[in-house]
Structure 1
Amino acid sequence: MTADLEGGDWIRGITIRQPWATCILAGKTPENRPTNWPWRGWVLLHAGKAKPDPALLRDPLVATAIRGRELHLGAVIGVARLTDCHQDLEGAPLCSKWARPGAWHLVLADVQKLALPIPARGQLGPWKPTEDLVAQVRQQLPDLGS
């Protein structure tokens, strides 16, 4: 493992409200955000603690994505590579059925679900995970970042 990987600068955390966090594990991309994220690389997908709005769970797109999946709260539930962040041009077609007009779109690739969610605290914006948290993720995904 390189010094860069050991230092933790290669990975960040992103807290996402449910049901959107679970939708990402089911193939949702992009993740909509109010501001541009210049950082690129691996991100821990952290499901926020707030319970989801029941109306969202009935949305056909969401209901199909989360069917049969547990909506974990307050835990890292997966990882992905953040490869791009863009806004669709005004009047242009949206880049995805998940994209929201006017939002910045975080494009996620190589999404991997953790077999066992890891309880953790997140925060708004990209955050730097503790070495212990990254070690717990790597127990489940030993090839992450290599």
Structure 2
Amino acid sequence: MTITLPERDWIRGITIRQPWATCILAGKNPENRPKPWSWRGWLLIHAGQRLERPALRDPLVATAIRGRELHLGAVIGVARLIDCHLDQGPEQCTSPWAQRDAQHLVLADVHELPLPVPATGALPAWKPTPDLVAQVFQQLPDVRR
């Protein structure tokens, strides 16, 4: 399936600590954040420089990252942010990844890059350079502009 990307101001980067960034590539949804996001659209999934070691002991995380390399300081994938909402309780937010009382960033069209692209991110969301975007989407021939 080919996905055509929009024009103009259509993409942001999101920096996420490892192992959570890799968990997203393995199906983690939603991404939990303390504040709501008004942005909707494509996101570069950027693995931050820090590894959150205690998370590695979580069985859900351990299963998701098994056999995967935990890259640091690089864009490792892309996804489309389609919604952001406050946790609605276990009856509505049934994902095991959903944290209670958090904002849930709902992702779709998640694509893992074959090769990570080294990059410096920022918090909370940042505008990637055109060169970085080109390097990322060069690896995703089914996602084009």
Structure that is richer in strand per residue: 2
CA gap 1:145/1:105 in 2 versus in 1, 3 angstroms: farther
Does 2:102 match 1:106?
A: no
One-letter amino acid of the structure 2 residue matched with residue 50 of structure 1? R
Corresponding residue of 2:41: 41
Residues 87 and 99 in structure 2, CA contact (< 8 A), matched pair in contact too: no
1:29 shift after superposition? 0.3
SS in 2 for 1:23: helix
SS in 2 for 1:50: strand
* Within-5 A mapping of 1:52-71: 52-53=52-53, 55-71=54-70
1:44 shift after superposition? 0.2
Corresponding residue of 2:3: none
Q: Deviations over 1:51-93 (max 9, x none)?
A: 222x211110000000000000000000000000001236755
In the comparison of the two structures, how many residue pairs are matched?
141
TM-score by length of 1: 0.90
Q: What is the Cα-based RMSD across aligned positions, in Å?
A: 1.8
Residues 42 and 145 in structure 1, CA contact (< 8 A), matched pair in contact too: no
Structure 1 ranges of 4+ moved more than 2 A: 88-95, 142-146
* Within-5 A mapping of 1:1-146: 5=7, 7=8, 9-53=9-53, 55-89=54-88, 92=91, 94-144=93-143, 146=145
Return the alpha-carbon distance in structure 2 between the equivalents of residues 46 and 67 of structure 1: 19
SS in 2 for 1:48: strand
| Aligned residues with identical type, % of pairs | 69
Return the alpha-carbon distance in structure 1 between the equivalents of residues 82 and 89 of structure 2: 22
SS in 1 for 2:50: coil
